[in-house]
């Protein structure tokens, strides 16, 4: 029977490998390869996702998790206003004399501590004159005024007793992904 | 060679085992995708738990399930402009509206017999948004239809257009 060129090449390669490598050495290499393979993402989607996870936004790359009176605190990635944390309030509580609006806009920020995306409700405190401290502007996921649901320039005192703006909170809603 | 391969195997196995455990210990459970889409697309105004300011933005919690009492009501909440024209895909919008009606909006008219929205149904209805209709008058008509067939909560009748201002 006539043998194909491919068959001849295959046989030659296999014999050469068999002559140069011991069986134990081949098994060790194969074992190491099998165990190490999951550590190296091979699929393009996996590689792209891994790259994205490390990328974040300009804000998240410079964000910190310790000082909630600074504009680069991680939850302020989409805030536009004066921080309630600088005005006698907190992340989840309005300063005395003002009331939380029942409405807000909800965006998401990456927490540098775990590189995961969290939903943040930007809720205004209303009913007192503006607190002139810690004015911050974050624009992650904020949309123009013609998409008001995600616009951070609106006074989100809709539904409150008064439209008088005092300050803004950044309430943690939950883990987005 | 055997020693190197063994060492490599050990290092890799330790790395693979340790990383997920550390992540699991720190991170909370992610919210379901439908709830995330509801929160980012609707929840700011309608409330994180579907409760909003009465008279400003319609409350959803405990109310939206009543719209399934009539075919007109079932269609209406998909044809609302901010629902029909949202940027969500048909599939994601279907998930969100089933969350809004069957989770936030329970009890659902028809009880266990009420069927979930299908993707095909939502895709068909959102092609007919209520953009050229007096929305408040049409809503009153829909709610009157619901009230004539089912017992609906009084709060379902309360609605007023929100007012906005800019900083």
Question: How much is the CA Rg of chain B, to the nearest whole Å?
Answer: 23
| Number of domains chain A contains | 2
Interchain pair B6, A176: CB under 8 A? no
How much is the pLDDT for B4? 55
Same-domain pairing of A115 and A158: yes
On the question of pLDDT at B65 being above 60, the answer is: yes
User: Which chain B residues are within 8 Å of A175, Cβ to Cβ?
Assistant: 27-31
- For residues A130 and A125, give the distance between their C-alpha atoms in angstroms, rounded to a whole number: 10
Same-domain pairing of A34 and A81: no
How much is the pLDDT for A115? 93
Same-domain pairing of A34 and A107: no
Residue range B33-157, CATH number? 1.10.760.10
- For residues A126 and B43, give the distance between their C-alpha atoms in angstroms, rounded to a whole number: 19
A46 domain residue, yes or no: no
Q: Which of B108, B118, B120, B128 is nearest to B68 (CA)?
A: B108
CA distances from B13 to A29, B9, B10 (A): 15, 6, 5
Q: What is the pLDDT of residues A64-105, one digit of tens each?
A: 999 999 999 999 999 999 999 999 999 999 999 999 999 998
Active site residues of A: 105, 124
Burial label, B102 (beta-carbon count in 10 A; 0-12, 13-18, 19+):
middle
Same-domain pairing of A114 and A160: yes
How much is the pLDDT for A39? 56
Same-domain pairing of A161 and A122: yes
Q: What is the pLDDT of residues A3-51, one digit of tens each?
A: 667 788 778 877 776 777 676 666 677 667 666 655 555 555 455 454 4
How much is the pLDDT for B110? 86
User: Which chain A residues are within 8 Å of B43, Cβ to Cβ?
Assistant: 106, 121, 173
Q: What is the pLDDT of residues B70-97, one digit of tens each?
A: 999 999 999 999 999 999 999 999 999 9
pLDDT category at A132 given cuts 50, 70, 90 is very high
- Is the distance from CB of B46 to CB of B58 less than 8 angstroms? yes
pLDDT category at B10 given cuts 50, 70, 90 is low
Domain ranges of chain B: 33-157
Q: Which of A40, A11, A158 is nearest to B162 (CA)?
A: A158
Rounded to a whole number, what is the distance in Å from the CA of B156 to chain A's nearest CA?
17
Question: At a CB cut-off of 8 Å and minimum separation 6, what does A9 contact?
Answer: none
Same-domain pairing of A98 and A167: yes
Same-domain pairing of A73 and A32: no
Same-domain pairing of A22 and A86: no
**B contact set with A (CB within 8 A):** 1-2, 5-6, 8-9, 12-13, 15-16, 23, 26-31, 36, 39-45, 47-48, 51-53, 55-57, 82, 162-167
- Is the distance from CB of B139 to CB of B60 less than 8 angstroms? no
Same-domain pairing of A34 and A109: no
Find the closest chain A residue to B37 by CA distance: A176
Interchain pair B28, A174: CB under 8 A? yes
- Is the distance from CB of B73 to CB of B148 less than 8 angstroms? no
What ipTM was estimated for this complex? 0.74
User: Which chain A residues are within 8 Å of B164, Cβ to Cβ?
Assistant: 148, 154-155, 158
Going by DSSP bridges, is the β-strand pair A165-175/A116-126 parallel, antiparallel, or unpaired? antiparallel
3-state secondary structure of B102: helix
Q: What is the pLDDT of residues B104-117, one digit of tens each?
A: 999 999 888 899 99
Same-domain pairing of A21 and A85: no
pLDDT category at A146 given cuts 50, 70, 90 is confident
On the question of pLDDT at B23 being above 90, the answer is: no
User: Which chain A residues are within 8 Å of B38, Cβ to Cβ?
Assistant: none
Report the CATH number that the domain containing residue A144 is assigned in CATH.
2.60.30.10
- Domain range enclosing A28: 5-40
Same-domain pairing of A142 and A74: yes
Q: Mutating which of B12, B23, B58 best tests the A interface, going by the most A Cβ atoms within 10 A?
A: B12
């Amino acid at each position: 029977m006539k043998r194909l060129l491919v068959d001849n090449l295959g046989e030659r390669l296999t014999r050469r490998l068999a002559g140069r490598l011991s069986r134990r050495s081949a098994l060790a290499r194969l074992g190491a390869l099998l165990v190490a393979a999951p550590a190296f993402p091979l699929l393009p989607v996996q590689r792209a996702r891994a790259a994205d996870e490390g990328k974040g936004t300009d804000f998240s790359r410079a964000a910190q998790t310790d000082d909630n009176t600074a504009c680069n605190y991680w939850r302020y990635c989409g805030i536009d206003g004066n921080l309630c944390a600088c005005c006698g309030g907190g992340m989840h509580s309005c300063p005395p004399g003002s009331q939380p609006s029942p409405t807000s806009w909800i965006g998401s920020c990456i927490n540098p501590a775990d590189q995961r995306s969290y939903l943040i409700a930007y809720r205004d405190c209303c009913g007192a004159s503006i607190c002139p401290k810690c004015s911050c502007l974050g624009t992650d996921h904020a949309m123009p005024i013609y998409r008001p649901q995600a616009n951070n320039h609106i006074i989100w005192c809709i539904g409150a007793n008064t439209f008088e703006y005092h300050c803004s909170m950044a309430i943690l809603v939950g883990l987005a992904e | 060679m055997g020693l190197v391969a063994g060492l490599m195997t050990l290092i890799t196995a330790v790395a693979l085992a340790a990383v997920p455990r550390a992540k699991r210990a720190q991170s909370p459970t992610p919210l379901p995708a439908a709830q995330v889409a509801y929160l980012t697309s609707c929840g700011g105004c309608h409330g994180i738990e579907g409760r909003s300011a009465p008279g400003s933005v319609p409350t959803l919690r405990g109310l939206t399930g009543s719209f399934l009492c009539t075919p007109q009501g079932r269609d209406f909440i998909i044809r609302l402009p901010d629902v029909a024209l949202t940027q969500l895909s048909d599939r994601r919008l279907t998930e969100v509206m089933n969350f809004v009606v069957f989770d936030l909006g329970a009890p659902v008219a028809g009880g266990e017999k009420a069927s979930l929205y299908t993707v095909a149904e939502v895709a068909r209805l959102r092609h007919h948004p209520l953009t050229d209709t007096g929305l408040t008058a049409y809503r009153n008509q829909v709610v009157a239809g619901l009230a004539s067939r089912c017992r609906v909560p009084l709060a379902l009748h309360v609605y007023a257009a929100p007012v906005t201002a800019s900083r």
